Structure 1
Amino acid sequence: MEDSLASPRLQKASQTIKELLKQNAAQDINDLIPHLKRRANVLAQRAEKNLNERGKKEAVEMKKILEQQQQRISQRKQEIENTKPIQLSIPFEEFPVEEKRQLEADRRHWEKRLKALAEEINSEPARIEASYEVRAVRVEPVGLIYLWPVSG
């Protein structure tokens, strides 16, 4: 077929044949639809299976990433809380104002982020899996090619 389409000599057909094919095209497509639907069904099932597997894999990976982030924040928060009283032998109240402000901002952010992560660990994997869900399968012919012998 590709060779026929690539060769201009092989693309020529008489006007009578072209008209005959045009007249029969709608019926030929209707005759082909059941076969195309069966083939498309097999391909759609395979694609859906692959998409579901990929969605599950990405959901597991995302959950792992979020849990690791949660763990790092918790560890950092704990480090700061455990080292605060002895940092440089300076009481927290005597820390430079900018450092105190930054540390307090970090703590507030960590608290918010830890709460958000707890929710995201539950919601994000499901959202990712849902994004790989097949919502529609349809068969629509977009073209029709006739191979006609050169001899007529």
Structure 2
Amino acid sequence: MTEMRVELQDGEQLVGDADELTYRQITPHLLKDGDQVASSAFGPSSADAGKPSYSRSSIVTAQEARDWHSSKARSPSEAVYAVSVQEVVTAGSVVIDDSCCPLAEGESDRAPGHCFVDFRGLPKSEERELRAKLYMHAMGRGEIPTEPLRADGSLF
């Protein structure tokens, strides 16, 4: 990978606790063959501008992150996986907390503990490599146990 240069925007800050987990919500379009997590799940979609959304474990639990996502996002979360800050750094990137950034145009709310793995400016080949490394770490850890949000918005 090329040398990592981080340019923080107003309100962004690096997440420095190497042991902290970052939760990634797995939605139906991130599954292949109906139940296998695609490696692309850990990288940005074209709409993410190199900033795929994760949530900080020091701020929310995996369950809270899944519930928020399922109640607010277009697609409900089917599962939660995680990578640590150290795993992201070892893979060649950083985790950036953007929870203090102003909301983007059209954005009315941001997930509690919102952060992202920085893919900004990476060539496609390096993006694929980073995604694959994060995928391997997350699959090695396994799915983080959570329950789906019921249709009425309650857990039970």
Q: TM-score, normalised by structure 1?
A: 0.18
- Structure 1 or 2, whichever has the larger Rg, is 1
Q: Which has the higher strand share?
A: 2
Q: Which has the higher helix share?
A: 1
Larger RCO, structures 1/2 (Cα 8 Å, 6+ apart): 1
